[in-house]
Structure 1
């Protein structure tokens, strides 16, 4: 069994400029030990090869890799990672981007919210204390901010940053969710998981973080991603009203 109780899942597609640095930053944290699982969707730029080299070197037993054929969607990448983490006995399971938009130094704060304070889901929130986003175009900031407010209004979920992708789950949250019934594959997946955890009665805490736009590599964001999120929440609300969301153990 693994030495650490926490694993950080990082989905990748063409992240050769960032992957070694982010892996060393996460595994190098001294406050708490974090392992990393990379889910690579067939990156043609050699991202997976870089990860394998590190796994054969000084990051052996700290970094793990699942390779998939082609771009299969962010949601399915995380679900594959969740299943792997549960099978390998981790108690605290994180979502994190590869491009340093999420600061690895915030990982212990999310961990403590769950492990010490007793919350079931900790969210690295850009909007819990104002708007903490650096180097995004104003149009994108406004789109993201008002999308989160819209989702909160429609679903009733008491979360300010509903589209955040920097999170820590307690094991029991993921064990309770039926992944076969998750509807979305893109960034609406982030909303759906939060909403599902909330409807199942798990305790959620938002931890303020500063989100910094990537400096290396190419963003995977698009207007279609936000469109899926905006229109998808109506389906989530309907599912809640018709009681389609329930624990896997129910």
Structure 2
């Protein structure tokens, strides 16, 4: 099979198909991708999928191409190297906006975000600009996480909420839907977050832009196959950026308070 060139796009078939697309970044997810897409299309037959593959050495990109050839609801964006989750989502969002989808979503390729629960987010988006599948609101839950990882996630979300002044319980959640108009307001060209902090970055931007963000309780299931992409380097980037944003946010609020007295 011919290896696709970097940034080559395999487009879905023409027609008046659905206007909702889920952007699914992949790096070494050959064990999970086909099952995920099968579940997604059983649950939500009208939803398109844009796979964004970062030159996975395990053949995920070639598998995605084969799935796209067999199903016009699937398309693939190939990137030349592994550049981080945030960069993959930005590339996918840009492509989805170019293709004029009305609703653009994101989800993991490993099955942690259950496609059967996507309907909950779609329903919530009827009265919102952004719908987040949340682990940490009442009714949300996790399956098969060790206690330490749960503690780290809860603590990280609490720190992010405190630093940025957000009223979102699961700021780092990666199961989301955005209205097209919402993404267009978020100045994506200025986003520099590469890792998982990308999720907090966009949530923060959405709140500051005055968009309506709602959280929907979901059950998050730990991956069964493959390895997590979370690393100490990724975690360090998140901590560093959130701290910097928090300091800047406090400075902005201080200026707002003292400005009337000048």
Fold shared per TM-score above 0.5: yes
Q: Which residue of 2 aligns with 1:188?
A: 197
Deviations 1:140-198 (A, max 9, x none): 11001110011111111110011111110011111112222113100111100000001
The structure 1 segments of at least 4 consecutive aligned residues displaced by more than 3 Å after TM superposition are 238-243
Unaligned stretches of 5+ residues in structure 2: 1-14, 254-262
Identify the structure with the greater helix proportion.
2
3-state SS in 1 of match to 2:112: coil
Give the alignment partner of residue 106 of structure 1, picking from 117, 132, 153.
117
TM-score normalised per structure 1: 0.91
Q: Which residue of 2 aligns with 1:160?
A: 169
TM-score normalised per structure 2: 0.87
Q: Alpha-carbon deviation of 1:239?
A: 4.2
Q: Is the 8 A contact 1:110 1:167 kept in 2?
A: yes
- Paired residues, number: 238
The 5 Å alignment of 1:71-150 reads 71-114=82-125, 116=126, 118-129=127-138, 132-150=141-159
The 5 Å alignment of 1:1-250 reads 2-30=16-44, 33-57=46-70, 59=71, 61-114=72-125, 116=126, 118-129=127-138, 132-240=141-249, 241-242=251-252
Work out the CA distance in 2 between the residues paired with 1:133 and 1:54. Answer: 30
Larger Rg: 2
Work out the CA distance in 2 between the residues paired with 1:54 and 1:182. Answer: 31
Superposition CA RMSD, Å: 1.6
Q: Alpha-carbon deviation of 1:28?
A: 2.2
3-state SS in 2 of match to 1:207: strand
Q: Alpha-carbon deviation of 1:130?
A: 6.5
Q: Alpha-carbon deviation of 1:242?
A: 4.1
